Amino acid sequence: MCGRFACSKIPKVLAELLDAPPPPDFVPRLNIAPSLPVCALIRDEPSGRAVFDWLRWGLVPGWARDPQIGARMFNARAETAAEKPAFRAAFRRRRCLIPADGFYEWHKDGRLRTPYYIDLPDVPMVLAGLWETWSDPQGGVLRSCAILTVDANEAIRPLHDRMPVILPPAAWAAWMNPQARDPAQYLRPYPSAGMRVEQAAPPENSQFKLVGGNA
């Protein structure tokens, strides 16, 4: 799963590829948790342009009665997202890119939980996401997102059996394209050889608790 990640910058190559300037209100953060705002690259509706926007982490489907449903939908299993009622509309039409410096996982040994930080030393890390728009009866609008996960690779498996989908640069534009024929082809574990896994101190500003969930 992916329950905490860091994002201190928007990779220049990502912004240039899809001609989307970084948001002027971007703030670097080293400890992004579910329910917090996430800076993501989306295909704006109805213009079709790629733009950076702030989305609440925890997807709220458009049909939901209560936005609190998003609290348990911050991850979406890649194997079933195309069919699950909560995610299938977003999987078809509203796929997004979520830049990250790296993400955290914990090794559990009894009561001891040791944080590890995972990043890509040679290329920007960009996570595959889904996003949705939800409207309340008073006319308020909430945009939210989920991060897709797959089976862990060999590097992550000692820490957790799931990991976020990390998209290589060659897949960024296609993942954002709602007309892409087979977006599921990009949903695979990132190669272990390209990853760095290091024991880490808990990220700053953390009242540290292990985030629940099994996605």
- Look at residues 124, 123, 47, 28 and name the one whose alpha carbon lies nearest to residue 39: 28
Q: Of the residues 2, 7, 39, 96, which is catalytic?
A: 2
- Which of 7, 39, 96, 105 is the catalytic position? 105
132 is catalytic: no
Strand 141-151 and strand 75-77: the pairing is: parallel
Per the annotation, the verdict on 145 as an active-site residue is: no
Quickly tell me which residue has 């509706």 as its tokens. 45
CA–CA separation, 21 and 11 (whole Å): 11
Q: Which residues are catalytic?
A: 2, 105
